Amino acid sequence: MQAINPTQDQSLSRPPIQSISDWFEQFISHVSVDKMMMETNTAPVFVDKFYTDIINKDFDATNTFLRVQSTGYFIAKIVNCYLKELHTHKLFPQKLAFDFSDAKILVWAQIPNESEKHEDALILAEAEANAKYADNGFYISSTIVEEGDKLPIPPHYKEIKINGRVSSAR
């Protein structure tokens, strides 16, 4: 992946000078607070470990930490996108469960028998989320079953609540 040079990419819109100045002041302030907490031994464990790894030039540990943080961020974004897309269709599965790995989100959904509308909504939600986040290396893969199949949610999946209830409590 090639680094973006703002002087070469005219699509980047640079913020006003005052916004740049404000952002750096706030950033420096946060780092200063972290420094004080490190010096007084009051930093939360993850803050202490993060800076200790950087100071010790443990780039594997630093990048692993950043990878875990970015993975959590993108998984939350893609699942949120998926659920919002389902909400636009107002067709929720009877049961909905997820399993997560580093880059893949597995969806297990149970729909009413012969409901093409439900199936289409799930496929479109998956397509929308994948189109939006595939460039970041994350994607959803769905398994759709019908109520009549009488298949249990696989044990490694976590069932989620839909409209405030566990998805199977309809």
Q: Cα–Cα distances in Å, from 101 out to 1, 26, 46, 156, 169?
A: 23, 34, 22, 11, 27
pTM for this entry: 0.74
Name the residue ranges covered by the structural domains of the chain.
17-57, 85-166
Q: What is the pLDDT along the chain (170 residues), one digit of tens a residue?
A: 455 555 555 567 899 999 999 999 999 999 999 999 999 999 999 999 999 999 999 999 999 999 989 998 999 999 999 999 999 988 889 999 999 987 899 999 999 999 999 999 999 999 999 999 999 999 999 999 999 999 999 999 999 987 655 454 44
Residue 93 CB contacts under 8 Å (≥ 6 apart), including other chains: 109, 110, 111, 118, 122, 144, 162, 167
- Angle of CA points 150, 94, 166, to nearest 5°: 110
